[in-house]
Each structure stands twice: as C-alpha cells, then as structure tokens.
Amino acid sequence: MPTTTASPLSRTLLWAIFGGSLAFPAIVATPRALAQDAPAAATAATTPQIHSVIAASAPDVQAFNEHLIILASPWMEGRLPGTKGMERAMDYMEAQFKSAGLEPAFQPSDSSAKNFRQPFSLGGKREVVEESIKLNCANGEKTLDAGTDFKLTSLGTSGSGNGVVAFVGYGIENGPEGFTSFSEGHSLEGKIAMVLRFEPMDEKGSSRWSGGEGWSGRAGFQGKIAAIAKRNPSAIIVVNTPGANDPRVNSLTAGGGATMANVPVFMMSTSAAEQLVSRCDAKHSLMELRKIADEIKAGQPMSFDLGGPDATVAVVGRTEEKTVNAENVVGVLPGRGALAHEVIVIGGHLDHLGMGDFGSREGPGKLHPGADDNASGAAGIILLASSLKNDYAALPAEQPLRTVLFIGFSAEESGLIGSRYYVEHPIYPIKDTVLMMNFDMIGRVKNGRLSVTNSPDVNGFMDWAQPIYAKSPLTIIKSEGRGGGGSDHASFQAVGVPILFAICADFHADYHTSRDTMDLIDRETSVEAVHLWHNLALSMAQLDKRFTIDEKSGPMRTQPMKVRAGLRTRESEDGSGLEIVDVTKDGSADKAGIRKGDKLVKWNKMEMKDRQAFVDDLRTQDPGAKVQAVVLRDGNEITVYVELQAAKEGQ
C-alpha cells in the first residue's frame, strides 16, 4: 500500500472547521498523562520526546495520528448526532475526502452543487425550555437552582403546579406483607407529590427487600410514578434519598425511557429537599421522613401533607419536541471500464456517545471521546480514501476498476440507523454492491490479533481472501458471521451484500466509557489493519468476478442454538422490552452484571420488542461472542457486554 503524505494541520484549517473561533475548551490532563513522581530533568533524559517519535514514524502512521487526535479531541464533544461536535467531525471527514480527490455523492433536489452528505431524521427529541421550583413557606420565598438543586426529567410531560407538598414515602403501592406508601383517604389531587428514590432501607442505606443484593424491582421509577400519577397530583418531585447506599443519589439523572406520567416529574438533590422540608414542615427533617417511610408503624400515617395550607411549592416544567437530524458522509472514487457500475463500500461509524447519556457503561456526565470506538476506524477510512485514490491513478487507464464508496456512518450507536438508511436509499442499486468492508474499533489490537468476519456461505470467498491475509503481519482471527455483529456491516448483510468486518479480537474494559482516549491507541498496528483493508479492496476492485451467496444461506435460516445467555425473559405488556425474570448464577448474563428485575431494551443494537428477535439473534452467535446489551434498571439505561457461553449438550 502506498503511504500517504502527512501534512501539518494548519491554523487556517482549524479556523474553518471550528466555525471561525479558536477559543477552544481546555484539555484536562489525566493522571496517566503526567509524570508526577519524576524530576523534570530525569524524565527528559529517559523519555523519548514526542516530536522525535512522530518524526521517526512512517508517513501513514503520522497521518493516522493526526486524524485520530482531531476526531477524538474534546472539541468533537463525543460526536453525538445532532451536536456541534458531530458537525465538526463530519466537516473534518468531508474536508479530508475532498483533499483526497473523492467526488461528492449526492445531487440535491434543488439542483445545487453535489455534496458529500446524506441527511436522515433521527426523530424527535425533547428539550427543556423552562424549569423552575419556588418554595413559598414560612421563611419566605426561595427559588431553587435548576441543574444543581433539581432537574426536569423525561419521565413526565410539560406542565405547572402550585400547591402543598404531599409526602408519599417511596410511592410503592403493593409491597411485601401488605406494605403500602399511601394512606387511605389521603388525597394527592392538585398537590405536589414528593417521593423518595429507591425503596425501604435499613440503617446502612441498603434495601430491606432484596436480600442484600442491590434493589428489588419495586425500587424502579415505573411502578412508583404510575402509582402516584393515577392519584392526580399537579407535579411529582423524586428526591435523592439521604443515606442511600447507591452512588446515584449524587446525580440528578433519571435515565431515559418512556414518559410515565402526564404531569411534570422533577429529580431533586438531597440538599435541596432538606431545604424544602425545613422551610415547609416544622415537624420533620428529611431523614426523619425517610425513617417513617422505611418502616411503617401501627397508627402512623403512611402519606401526608407537609406543613399547613400556606406552605406551598410552585413548579413549572416545559419541554419542546425538536427534530434531530443526522447525516452520513459519503465520498466516491469512480471506477472505470466494464466494472465501473459495480460498487465496493468501505465504511465505519463516525458517531459516538457524547456525554454518555445513553449507551455508556459507566453512566452519564463525562465526555466519551470514543478514540477506539470509532475514531480509529474513521481515521482508517480517511487513509484508505487517499491511498486507493493514488493507486487508481497509478493503474493503467485500460484497467477496469469498480467504484468505491467511502462512508462515515452516523447514528450507529443509536441502532445502526445511518447504515440502514443508506441501504434503503443507496446511491447505486444495492444489487450492484459487491462487497461491504467495515472498520469498527481497530485502535487497540492487542498482540496483533485482528478479528475479521466474513459472510457465511459465500462461494470462493476464502480462496480469494486467504492469500491476502497471509501477507499481513497481523494475526487474523477469522470467523463467519450470520448475525451481523452489531455494527454497520449488519445492515448490508441483511440485504444480501457480502461483508468483511474488522475489529480488535480482544475487547478492552474502556469500551463505551470516558476512558476510551487517544493516548491508548496503537497507531502502528491500526495502520497495519488499514494496509490489510487497502490490499483487499484493491484486489476486489480488479477481480474479474463477483462473489455470490449460497441461495440456501441467509440470516433467517433456522440455526441450532450454540450459545446460552443465562437468563429467562418475558415480553413486557407495553412492548417496551423483555423483562428479566431469572438470571442463571455464573451464566453469561450474570457475569455481565444483568439482574433479575432488569428490562432488556436493546440486544446487539436491536430494540427488543419481542422474544423471537432475541432468540433469532442468539441462533446466529458463536460461543465466546461478546454482545452489547442495554438494560433498564431503576429508570436508568445501563450498557453491558455479554460474553456468550457455549450451550450445554442437549440444550
């Protein structure tokens, strides 16, 4: 593969990319980036200087390094679709496609100049436009601070209320041994309902009902919000319970999920709730209210109004539905001769998780740079655009060549939405796409082990690919994938296009966390993966035949179950996921951290609305496969990675 020329990124280009402003956010150094224990002189004497290492690197390694640093930088804001950071990332990829000499792919309907963008809708997103809570109690008015003291959640709708505060304990209607949080005859009509997070606790702040293992299913938002909402309050305030043995009491995040009430629902910090109680109720402290709710005593009211009729709270919560759009970035390397009408797609997703509000394995609130997932793959695609363009130009003019599309997909992390949109709206007929080559997480290939998956039952495919694999210094871990593997190639495989999918063979614990940073990327090994993809693509571009898939093959053909997930599920009544009714000890799900009472909402980046979809995907998996799962627990989405165990004999 010819090397690409690395050129310094000019301030002019940065100015263009970042909208004419160089007032960039500060980069905060992490502990691993600082040599705190060594004197400066000793460090300088023993540590290679960065500029010397870069200068000594091959040109394509230098170029890969530049692309990676930019795409995984804080200025890209985690590349979440619909954000300014993602716009910057798309602008950067488009600028690189132009620089490589690719042609724009799309002709707008208004007959303006062709461009590199394929827009599509991600649907609506609710944005908070107004949120306020004002205490009108004995000590005068007090306006709480939005974002610090409280936060309007997506669990309710827009609305307002002004009334007394009705304390409803944990908001649990039917607990063990007849437990209930609601007093008979106590009305919530038009009041501000105040409910504690989780469920009755012991003196250590742990659940009284779960047997020492987290929380029971009654601690979740869905049951308690529904129980309160049907009693017609004007608003609901969920309080982070003082003393709870759970780190989420320090967060105002209530998770995603569906709307659960037709009134506004707020999350309130423990300290703000203490202010509310101290101002509006002279009889109790917040901790005393918690103790009342923890263990109901005979003759003690379970729910009641705080303070007198003059102790009121006024709330306003208003959201607006705004359309979220995304775009695939597509550049064309035209073919020529008899093969020009046939197409090779080289792609990978450009998007990531932003601040981790969904899909994060550690929760929201931190920047998720996505250096490996998938700035590494996107940087590889940019290199390939340049190197293949150069090789096409160097080949004889009479050499027939296939057309190559280079695509940076958007919204892969949201469910392969960008790649699915492309296969439904292709530039060239999908029947003429002869191969889709996908890069995802090639930045941390441990011990040179690169996993390469191809479609099963493709006639002659391995006879062609194996000699090219053999020339690579990487150790190619080969597999056939019938289920798609949870990345963008699955969209193409589903419509009968043969695929090649490259990813690190050994997953790391930093996947989908804030720790997936650029300093951990192995630039040289990543470039070896790019070289392999270049050689495969250039060979395929000239091959005088195309591969065909066995007519009896396909992802829908019934396959024997080779794996076990280690859980039992049932479909939820509202079709919002699969309820986990049992988890096998030390099984696949148990080791991944899935619990009884969770709700499986996504599996392998597919929404789980029925059990058949789950079973069908399991039939495509091999023992040892690692599958991304998203579960809903206590109203929060939690992402885990399930390593599937082999099915026992006879199962």
pLDDT band at 293 (very low <50, low <70, confident <90, very high): very high
Q: Which residues pair with residue 642 across a beta bridge?
A: 627
Residue 122 is inside which H or E element, if any? Answer: strand 117-137
Do residues 510 and 356 lie in contact, with contact meaning Cβ atoms separated by under 8 Å? no
Separation CA 194–CA 143 (nearest Å) = 17
Percent of the chain with pLDDT over 90: 57
**What are the structure tokens assigned to 491, written together?**
């969209």
Separation CA 472–CA 480 (nearest Å) = 19
578-586 CB contacts, 8 Å cutoff, 24+ apart: 578/608, 578/610, 578/611, 578/614, 580/631
Inform me whether the pLDDT recorded for 302 exceeds 50: yes
Do residues 318 and 131 lie in contact, with contact meaning Cβ atoms separated by under 8 Å? yes
Higher pLDDT, 634 or 232: 232
- With 0.75 as the threshold, say if the pTM is over it: no
Nearest C-alpha neighbor of 493 from the set 383, 352, 620: 620
424-478: pLDDT as tens digits: 999 999 999 999 999 999 999 999 999 999 988 888 999 999 999 999 999 999 9
**What are the structure tokens assigned to 30, written together?**
């992490």
Strand residue runs (E) in 242-339: 265-268, 304-305, 312-333
Name the least confident of 210-214, 228-232, 410-414, 558-562.
558-562
What pLDDT does residue 186 have? 95
What pLDDT does residue 299 have? 67
Cα dist from 145 to 135, 272, 629, whole Å = 12, 9, 36
Q: Which domains does the chain have, with CATH numbers?
A: 11-122+323-542 (3.40.630.10), 139-310 (3.50.30.30), 563-646 (2.30.42.10)
pLDDT band at 34 (very low <50, low <70, confident <90, very high): very low
Do residues 283 and 385 lie in contact, with contact meaning Cβ atoms separated by under 8 Å? no
What pLDDT does residue 254 have? 67
Do residues 513 and 362 lie in contact, with contact meaning Cβ atoms separated by under 8 Å? yes
36-79: pLDDT as tens digits: 444 555 555 677 888 888 889 999 999 999 999 999 999 999 99
Name the least confident of 501-510, 513-522, 564-573, 612-621.
612-621
Torsion of CA 442, 444, 450, 452, to 10 degrees: -30
Q: Which residues pair with residue 127 across a beta bridge?
A: 320
Residue type, 251: S
Q: Tell me the average pLDDT across 315-332.
A: 93
